[in-house]
Each structure stands twice: as structure tokens, then as C-alpha cells.
Structure 1
Amino acid sequence: MATEYGQGYGLDSGPGFPGSTERRHRLPAALRAPVEPRTWLELTHVLLSLPISVLLFTYAVTMVSLGAGLLVTFLGIPVLAAGLAGCRGLGALERMRARGLLGLEVAEPEPLRRNRAGAMAWMGAVLKSGASWRALLYAVLHLPWAVFSFVVAVNVWVLGWALLTYPLWFWVFPVYAGEDGIQLSGDGTHRIYLDNPFEITVTALVGLLFTITSPWIVRALTMVDRLLVQGLLGPSRLASRVVELESDRGVVVDTAAADLRRIERDLHDGAQARLVALAMDLGLAKEKLQVDPQAAARMVDEAHGEVKTALQELRDLARGIHPAVLTDRGLDAALSAVASRCTVPVRVEVDLAERPAPAIEGIAYFTVSELLQNVSKHARATWAGVEVWRTENRLMLQVLDNGVGGADVSEGSGLAGLADRLDAVDGILVVDSPAGGPTRVTAELPWRGEHVR
């Protein structure tokens, strides 16, 4: 593992870190919201939603109705397929609009799956695709919501700014309308206008209240748009899970291939080379046995030492593949053995009433082993701790040290590779390592049920 600890890691990246250049706003968020670009982009999204949803609804209802009506003829299926394909294309435009105006990144839905080429195969794939029908549902459901959000947003926004700027344009009423100002109430004999300085000031303050709250109202309205786009125009949960499993399978395959290459390299450069040299030495000793017995005895004695070294290398290699102590005695004994080889004192606490599945137990062992190697090589710590416990159906691991901190989980680091390995089995790796320490790495693994040996 090659994760580096030390000064300069994680100090200058992103808001919230020491030394960050994040700009500090003098005005609170409530006062900045009406003039922020995000607010105007969200308002633009709401305003555009009405005409776009009208077009979507009209197209979807027309094509589906026409296709359904023509199902009694051979034209119904092609028309219905074309309508669904059009809904998919319009859904792609809606994802682009949400990305540009709402900053919402939504992945493309699962592609059409065709077993063969041809128009009939394409129509069948469109009709069987869940993404096509979700896009149709979006086109139908979005219209009523777009009407509601358009009416609410426009009324709140216009009312707020109109009342806020009332001191600037109230003179229009007496000059051009023959009235003293905005009329609140009145009958044939009595009328109430907002015309004196106090009433004008109160009107502007009410307008300020509406102006301040209108961005948050629009933001709440766009939250529903976000849910609609994510839920109906993005990939389904099943498709996302399939993609995730395919990615995890790739990680597992790559990890297994890397482990096999490591074992082959260790055997070739270590035990195999030593055994070849040992065979040559024994051959020379055999030749000298008759001529110079004492020299042959010395060579046999040296070969005996080489045998011991080769055996130790093979034991270390076997321990790196899967230690026997883990199989025989479980995590407590195996982690204690790992801790004894660490360069700093390590306190190990394992609180498990039973053992997890062998695969999860092995991943937990190697996770702690790599993290303790990190502590030995990079942390410059004086002590470390390992804690293992079970929470419901999850196996929890935590490795602590009082080193210099600054552990980096960025792409390409050892911790990133370890996180990928855990993710392949639905695990999680969380690193808390501020500059100056201490470092706390928490891993969470699925328990995967009881195992009887």
C-alpha cells in the first residue's frame, strides 16, 4: 500500500480545509438569494417548464393515442414505438435543461437491448424498455406540476418585486390613473389607498419579505422537478445496480489478477531463485564429497541455512495469501499477529460473538493489515489501535493512530484502491485524517450471515 501521510496532503483542496481560498460572503444567504445566479437559473427553469411541458404532453398524448387507436392495424406498433422513442429523445433534452439550469447531473437511462438488427427488433426493444415508458410518464405528469409551479413562481416573484419597488412607481396612480395609489378596499362612499409615506414604507417592507422568500419558494418547486427528472428520466434502480455490480466485478477481477501477479513475482524473485541457487550448491557439494569432504560439509551447512530462509519466505508468502491463524482461530488472533509486526505499539480489541463469512473475514484481515502497514511506513505515530465489532448486519473496523495525519484518499492512492476493494463487496471506507493528526480510518463490511466451520 502506498498511501502517503505527512504535511501538505489535503491542505489546499476544497472549501473547509485550512488554507482554502473559499470566498467569505458578507451578506447572509437570505439576503443574497434574490440576486444570486442560481436563483435566476431556477426561475428560468420554472418559466420554461410550462411551454415545454405543454409540447411534451401534447406530443406524448397524441402519439400514444394514435398508436393505441391503430393497434387494430399494422400501423399501430410502429406509431407507438415512434412515440416512445420521441419521448426518450425529449427526455434527453430535459436532462440537458436540468443540467444547465439546475446543476443536476442525471445519468442516461439504460440503452435499448436488441438481439438482432432490423426495424422490428428496434420497435420491440423500444416497447420493452422501461426507460421509454418512464419518459412517457414524465411527459404526462410534468404538465400539471409545471402549471402549478409557473403560477406560484410568477405570482410570488412579481408581487415581491412590485411591492418592493412601490416607492419608485406609486406616482403613476395619481398622474395617469386618477387615483392616490394601490387600492386596498372601498365602496361607493369610502376607499382606502396606500398613498402616505408610512403606508408606502410598509408596502415596500412587505415586498422585501416576499422578495427574500420567493427564491426559496422557487427552489422548493424545483426540488420536485429534480425528483421527476431523476426518478423518471434517469436509469432505474435495477439498471444502476447492474452497472454497479459490473463495475464491482471488474474491480474484483483486476484485484485477483494483481494478487496473482504479486504471488508469481514473489515466487520468482524469492523462493524460486533461492531454491535454484540451493540446487546448484548441493550439486557442487555432491561433486566435492569424494575430493574434499570438509568443503562439501561446509557447502551442505550453507545449503541448510538457505533451506530455512526459503521456508520462511514461503511461510510469509502463504500468510500474505491467507494466514492459517485466521482460518483456525479467527480475527482476534490473526489481527493480534499483525499488530505484533507493526513498528509501533498497537492495541487490538475484537468484540465479536461469532465469526463472519470467510470471505468477509479475509477482507477485514487484509484491510487492517494494509492500514497498519500504512501506520508503520508513513504515519510517524507512537501508538495505534484496532477495534472490530458488529452492528446489526455490518462488520465494523476502525484503525487509529496519533501520527501526522494528512492521509490522502484521492485517485491513485493506496486508500483509494482499498476503498475500491471494499466497494466491490458493498463495503464503505471513511477516512478522517486532518493535518497534524490523529488519523481515524473506519471500514464497514456486510456481515453476510453466520458461518459454520
Structure 2
Amino acid sequence: MTESLSSTLPAAGPGGPAAPGAPGGPDGDRPPPARLAYDRHTWKETAHLLANLPVALVGFVYVITVVTLGVGLTVTVVGLPLLAAGLLGARVLGRLERARARALLGVRVDEPSRLPRRGGGFLGRLWSALKDPVGWRTLLYGFVRLPWGVVTFVVTLVSLLVLWPVLPFIVRGLSHADRAMVRGLLCPSDELERRIAELESDRGVVVDTAAADLRRIERDLHDGAQARLVNLAMGLGLAKEKLLEGQADEQVAAMVEEAHGEVKLALQELRDLARGIHPAVLTDRGLDAALSSVASRCTVPVRVDVDLTERPAPAIEGIAYFTVSELLQNISKHSHARSAAVEVWRTDERLLIQVWDDGRGGARLDGGTGMKGLADRLGAVDGLFVVDSPEGGPTTVTAELPWRDRTELPAAP
């Protein structure tokens, strides 16, 4: 229990390493060894090599045009914008080449991240495009491909006509060189680019989650507390009219009593809503007290064990709280369990959470119980979310979050 999940589980996400043998992993795009047979891999590689010449010719012409016009006209106001536009177009060519290599050579490389959106208006976007390493590497790829395209076209064509018995070996060797060029020049430049792409995806998840939460809060306010407060105002207005008209005290007392009941219900709904946004007990007393409060409302007896000597950042505390809260709600609604347990502890710079129940099991990330949303929410902050729930139970859900100390955060204004 004291070992971090990150040391035992493969990293997930768009930029994470894939397991051996998985698509896109070290073995996932490795073609079968060459043999004296004309199988589909041989014909795909042959088609790729024969297409190298026309494709390389188009790319070479594009590179020469972009560089000649862009650099030659830098003394004018249109030179740098033309060069920037050419680099953006090179990204498109690179995407097409990656698709061709993926379809014919089985090479799977990550798509580079989009250009970052910078401030500064037109000049900021221009500078961002001009120093784009992806665009420059794609131009280099297009420049060196022409001589290589001539070689591969001629050798492959001659092999089809004269050396056909050993054609599989020839095209396999030439295709390996093509694979090396694609991986070396058309893949993301470094881990930073892959990380940027992953963060862009996570940002979309966070935005969607926040929008869904805002819609839920608006709906709860409109259908719950707001409706009750409107009824309360109408009831108090009628009571006031009756008092002014000198009506019987019994009628006024009944109306005031009914209004008092509506006030209590509205207050309870507002407390529940506030607890759903961020519970006061979490802010005041931390995860131990907050999770104990959540566990007390669960329909299943829950043992809570929080082993923390200090508190993480408020954002991490909030995610941990709502993760456990939703998991306990799932246990109450779906598990048919007789007991459950929540454990929270810290290992190095990670906060780990484990929620266990002895129910019927069968929980899945795509099972429609909110598990996928929890996994996305944790993934957006570099967290992990693992579900172990065989049919018949028990179910163990383990979550891991980055530990961010409260002292690392800027002081509130």
C-alpha cells in the first residue's frame, strides 16, 4: 500500500508510453521479418517506395518555393509572412506523410502539438510560426526526400522487373530507411511537445467538466431553492394582505407556519448545494473530517482511515474529496455491499486513495456510473485511476493524485 501507482502502472494519456506489443508501442508498428513471399506487407511497402518519387518531387518543389520566396523577400513586408505561411503548410504536408507511412509502412508516431496561442496579435502569431520546429523539420524532410525518392523508385522498379525473387528483402531494407526518416523528422520533437498535446486534451476535459458542473448548479438552484423561495414570497405576501384586511389570526398563523417550513426546506437545499460545490468541513478541518462526514451518509458501513500529517493543496483536496464522495454514492446505489472502506495516504509526492467494497463487482470505466468522468478529472491533473472489480466482487478503486503542498501556492489577494 505504500508504493505509488506510478511505479507499477504504465502512464496513460496521449503522450504516455504504450505497453510493448500495443499499437504505437515499441513493438506495435514493427513489421514482420522479410521472407521470400509476396504478402500484403511486401506489396504495401512496394507501393510506398514507388510513390516516393512523385510525392518527393511535390515536396521538394514546395520546399524550394517556400524558402526562395520567403527568404528572398525578407527585405519586404511580405517575406516573413510568406515564410510563416509556408511553415504552416509544411505541417499539413507532414501530416499527410505520417498518414501515408501509417497506412503503408505501419509506422505510428504521435501527431505534433498545435502551435501555442500567443499574445501580441499578428506579430506574436507570426513569431510563433517562424520558430516552429515542426515546420522546419518537415521542410528538411521534403528537401532530402527527392534524391532518396529517385533511388527507391529506380531500385524498386528494377527489382520488380529483374530481381523479383529477392524483392521482399530489398523493399524491406528500403522501407526501414523510410521508417527511420519518418520517426526522426516527422515525429514530435521531444517530450515537451507530447506533454503539450496531452495538456491540451486535459484542458478540454476540465472545461467540459466545469461547464457540466455549472449547468448542474443552475438547474438545482432553479428547480429547488429558487422555486421554494418564490413560493415563500407568495405565501408571506398573502399573509400580509390578510393581516391588513383584519383576517382571522388562525389563517395567518397557518400561512406563516407553512412559510416557515418552506424556509427550512430551502435552507437545507442550499446547504446541500453548497456542500456539493465545496464543503465547509473540508476547508476547515481537512480530508479526514470531510471524508468521515461523507461516509456517515453512505447506506453501507464505511471504515475511513486517513494517514496524512499535513494537507495538500486545496485543489487536490477537493478532487480527492469529490472522488471518494462519488465512489461512495456508487456503492450506495449499485454495489449491494455490506461493508466498505476508504484509505488515504501519502507516498513521496503522490496522494493515494483506495476505496473498497464487498459488493457484487462488475464496475467498469464505461459502465455508466460516472467512473469515466472520474478518470478524466484525475487525468487532467496528472492523476491515475484504476478499477479492479471482477464479477462477484470485491471492488477496489485506487486513485493517485500529485501532492502539491499548500505552501507552494501563491498567497490569496
Q: Settle same-fold status: TM greater than 0.5.
A: yes
Aligned residue identity for 2:355? V
Structure 2 Cα separation of the partners of residues 84 and 337 of structure 1 = 57
Structure 1 SS opposite 2:406: coil
Task: Look up the equivalent residue of 1:40 and give its one-letter code.
Answer: T
State the shift of 1:362 in Å.
0.8
Mapped to 2, the partners of 1:378 and 1:242 lie a distance apart of: 38
Q: How does 1:133-148 map to 2 (within 5 A)?
A: 133-138=136-141
Which ranges in structure 1 are unaligned for 5 or more consecutive residues?
1-28, 152-160, 163-210
The reply to whether residue 365 of structure 1 matches residue 304 of structure 2 is no
Give distance in 2, aligned partners of 1:252 and 1:390: 25
Partner of 2:399: 443
Structure having the higher Rg: 1
Structure 2's unaligned 5+ residue stretches are 1-30, 156-164
* C-alpha displacement of 1:136: 3.7
Aligned to 1:293: 249
Higher relative contact order (CA 8 A, sep 6+): 1
Q: 1:130 maps to what in 2?
A: 133
Please give the alpha-carbon distance, in whole angstroms, between the structure 2 residues aligned to 1:405 and 1:32: 47
Equivalent positions of 1:13-52 (< 5 A) are: 39-40=41-42, 44=46
- 1:96 equivalent in alignment to 2:99: yes
The aligned residue for residue 213 of structure 2 is 259
Alpha-carbon displacement from aligned partner over 1:134-163 (angstroms, at most 9, x marks no partner)? 124445788999999xx9xxxxxxxxx88x
Cα separation, 2, equivalents of 1:217 and 1:436: 52
Contact 2:112 2:134 in 1 (8 A): no
SS at match of 2:385: strand
- Which of the residues 100, 107, 110 maps onto 2:111? 107
- C-alpha contact (below 8 Å) 1:109/1:236 kept by paired residues: no
Farther off after superposition, 218-227 or 422-431 = 218-227
Shift of 1:383: 2.2
Using a 3 Å threshold, how does the CA distance of structure 1 residues 273 and 92 change in structure 2: closer, same or farther?
A: closer
Q: Tell whether the 8 Å contact from 2:138 to 2:186 is kept in structure 1 after alignment.
A: no
In the superposition, relative to structure 1, how do residues 283 and 55 fare at CA in structure 2: closer, same or farther (>3 Å)? Answer: closer
Aligned residue type for 1:133: W
Match of 2:14 in 1: none
Counterpart of 2:27 in structure 1 is: none
Distance 1:263 1:397 in 2: 27
- Amino acid aligned to 1:252: V
Contact 2:295 2:302 in 1 (8 A): yes
For residues 90 and 253 of structure 1, the distance between their equivalents in structure 2, rounded to whole angstroms, comes to: 31
SS at match of 2:298: coil
- 1:95 Cα deviation (Å)? 1.1
Contact kept? 1:274, 1:306, Cα under 8 Å: yes
Q: Does 1:406 align with 2:373?
A: no
Question: Could you say if the C-alpha distance between residues 418 and 133 of structure 1 is closer, same or farther in structure 2, counting changes exceeding 3 Å?
Answer: same
Using the TM superposition, give the Cα deviation of residue 326 of structure 1 relative to its aligned residue in structure 2, in angstroms. Answer: 0.3
Deviation of 1:359 (Å)? 1.2
Tell me the equivalent position of 2:226: 272
Task: Give the TM-score, by structure 2 length.
Answer: 0.66
1:430 pairs with 2:386: yes
Cα separation, partners in 2 of 1:334 and 1:221, compared to 1, 3 Å: farther
Aligned CA-pair RMSD: 5.3
Correspondence for 1:6: none
How far apart, in 2, do the equivalents of 1:301 and 1:123 lie?
69
CA spacing shift, 1:43–1:327, aligned 2, 3 Å: same
1:281 Cα deviation from its structure 2 partner = 3.7
Q: Assess if the C-alpha contact under 8 Å between 1:429 and 1:444 holds in 2.
A: yes
CA–CA distance in structure 2, aligned partners of residues 367 and 254 of structure 1: 17
Could you say if the C-alpha distance between residues 371 and 230 of structure 1 is closer, same or farther in structure 2, counting changes exceeding 3 Å? farther
2: CA distance, partners of 1:412 / 1:33: 48
3-state SS of paired residue (2:293): helix
Residue 335 of structure 1 aligns with which residue? 291
Give the direction of change, closer, same or farther, for the CA distance of 1:271–1:121 in structure 2 (3 Å limit): closer
SS in 2 for 1:361: helix
Greater CA drift, 52-61 or 417-426: 52-61
| 1:379 has 2:381 as partner | no
Partner Cα separation in structure 1 for residue 236 and residue 117 of structure 2: 65
Of residues 130-139 and 311-320 in structure 1, the stretch that sits farther from structure 2 once superposed is: 130-139
Q: Is the 8 A contact 2:228 2:266 kept in 1?
A: yes
Which residue of 1 is the match for residue 348 of structure 2?
392
* Alpha-carbon distance, 1:380 to partner: 2.2
Q: Deviations over 1:233-276 (max 9, x none)?
A: x5765555445444444433333333233223222322232233
User: Which piece of structure 1 moves more, 410-419 or 317-326?
Assistant: 410-419
Shift of 1:432: 2.9
Match of 2:268 among 312, 327, 336: 312
Return the offset for 1:335. Answer: 0.7
| Contact in 2 for aligned 1:339/1:346 (Cα 8 Å) | yes
